[in-house]
Amino acid sequence: MPSLRPFSKHAPALGAALVALVFFAVPVAFAQDAPVAPASQPPIQQQMTPQEFKAAGLDKLSADELARLNAWLGRTIDTQSAKAAALAKDKVVRENRGFLSFGSDEPIVAHLPGEFRGFARNRVYNLDNGQVWQQVGDEELPGVRLTNPEVRINPSVIGNTWYMKVGHYNTRARVQRIK
């Protein structure tokens, strides 16, 4: 599993959000398709009331047919749970990249809508992907004017520091994701 590098004040909140997502959102995501249950799920006849079991026509199944149905339900629930967990993890990684690196060295590539007039400490950059970054370093790029430039934000090799590069300029500004 990739290492999670903490990000100052957001780490506890993001950790809690991840736990909440895994325990609450994953079961809800597939509630319409199949009930989410642990792998050692009780047989269907124990999960339903006798009236529900009979109304569904399951009382007409032989013991072998009922065993096969329970085995199929168990496999389906395990498969759907694994898919839901993978989707939830991918969503958390995608939406929270920048707050945490998730062990990836891939850059975040987006565009800066409007005009870019160089770097300046504490300047806020609203990207077209919905992320908001603030410059925390003293780097400058004076005299630059670009319209809707591409930005690349790369994580540092060690720690949870991020660097933004704009357009074809080599100057990188130290930034921090704030939204």
Task: Clarify whether residues 86 and 112 are in a common domain.
Answer: no
Q: Is 68 inside a domain boundary? A: yes
Q: Which residue has the higher pLDDT, 25 or 74?
A: 74
User: Is residue 129 pLDDT above 50, yes or no?
Assistant: yes
Q: Which amino acid is at 122?
A: N
Q: Is 103 inside a domain boundary? A: no
Q: Average pLDDT, stretch 50-66?
A: 90
Q: Which amino acid is at 66?
A: L
The pLDDT value given to residue 100: 64
Task: Clarify whether residues 124 and 79 are in a common domain.
Answer: no
Q: Which domain holds residue 166?
A: 108-177
Number of domains, the chain? 2
Q: Average pLDDT, stretch 111-126?
A: 92
Encoded tokens for 172? 């990188």
Q: Average pLDDT, stretch 137-147?
A: 89
Q: Is 3 inside a domain boundary? A: no
Nearest to 81 by CA among 38, 136, 133, 20: 38
Task: Clarify whether residues 92 and 118 are in a common domain.
Answer: no
Q: Which helix (H) or strand (E) holds 155?
A: strand 150-155
As a whole number, the mean pLDDT across the chain is: 77
Task: Clarify whether residues 72 and 128 are in a common domain.
Answer: no
User: Is residue 94 pLDDT above 50, yes or no?
Assistant: yes
Q: Average pLDDT, stretch 56-76?
A: 90
pLDDT tens digits, 11-26: 444 444 444 444 444 4
| Residue that terminates a domain, selected from 74, 96, 118 | 96
Q: Quote the pTM value.
A: 0.52
Using DSSP bridges, classify how beta strands 150-155 and 146-147 pair: parallel, antiparallel or unpaired.
Answer: unpaired
User: Is residue 143 pLDDT above 50, yes or no?
Assistant: yes
The pLDDT value given to residue 90: 73
Task: Clarify whether residues 16 and 75 are in a common domain.
Answer: yes
Burial class (CB in 10 A: 0-12, 13-18, 19+), 16: exposed
The pLDDT value given to residue 79: 86
Task: Clarify whether residues 113 and 92 are in a common domain.
Answer: no
User: Is residue 88 pLDDT above 60, yes or no?
Assistant: yes
Minimum mean pLDDT among 24-28, 42-46, 86-90, 157-161: which range? 24-28
Q: Which amino acid is at 52?
A: E
Task: Clarify whether residues 16 and 89 are in a common domain.
Answer: yes
Q: Tell me the pLDDT band of 86, cut-offs 50, 70 and 90.
A: confident
The pLDDT value given to residue 7: 44
| Residue that terminates a domain, selected from 61, 96, 131 | 96
Which contacts qualify for 70-79: CB closer than 8 Å, 24 or more apart?
A: 70/43, 70/44, 73/34, 73/41, 73/44, 74/39, 74/41, 76/34, 77/34, 77/35, 77/36, 77/37, 77/39, 77/41, 78/39
